[in-house]
Amino acid sequence: MKRVLFVAVVALLSVGFANRQAQHPYRVLFDLTSRDSLDQKAVVRWIKEVTTASPKAQIEVVMYGKGFELVMPTKSTVIKDVETALKNPNVSFKVCEIAMKNNQLDKSMFVAGTQTVPDGIRELTEKQQDHWGYIKASVSH
């Protein structure tokens, strides 16, 4: 009797877990504010690792502060990796337009495929409210 009850409980939990997975796809939001090359390398490494382990995962990198240097060919230490990541339709790089204004930047200064958002912090909070996982990219501190 205990064995039957145990199997029934495990089966119900499995169905619940599978249902939860179906409700919330794997979506990761990276928050990059640093120009530090170690932080840039970490972000592109994490993108590679996540997309290798879970090819259907959606990934968005939101850059503000000085994080936008990740997608600037003249500043980024990993621009080739960014260009490779941009070939994946599930990966996006988004620069805050407030940071662009504060730093007198133009979208033409970013690698092709980079998108902009009006407010990077708002983008982060809205994505989190929509069940995106949040990772602050900061390994160098």
**pLDDT tens track for 48-95:** 999 999 999 999 999 999 999 999 999 999 999 999 999 999 999 999
Q: Which residue has the higher pLDDT, 12 or 88?
A: 88
CA distance 37 to 40: 5
What pLDDT sits at residue 6? 44
Asked, for residue 31, whether it belongs to a domain, the answer is yes
Contact 121, 33 (CB under 8 A): no
**pLDDT tens track for 99-118:** 999 999 999 999 999 999 99
Asked, for residue 56, whether it belongs to a domain, the answer is yes
Question: Alpha helix locations (H) across the chain?
Answer: 2-23, 37-53, 79-86, 97-102, 120-129
Q: How confident is the model at residue 140 (pLDDT cuts 50, 70, 90)?
A: low
Asked, for residue 13, whether it belongs to a domain, the answer is no
Asked, for residue 4, whether it belongs to a domain, the answer is no
Looking up residue 88, the CATH number of its domain turns out to be 3.40.1260.10
Residue 31 belongs to domain spanning: 25-136
The structure's pTM equals 0.82
| Domains in the chain, number | 1
What pLDDT sits at residue 96? 98
Query: Residue 126 phi/psi, 5° resolution?
Result: -65, -40
Statement: residue 7 has pLDDT above 80: no
What pLDDT sits at residue 1? 59
- Mean pLDDT of the chain, nearest integer: 88
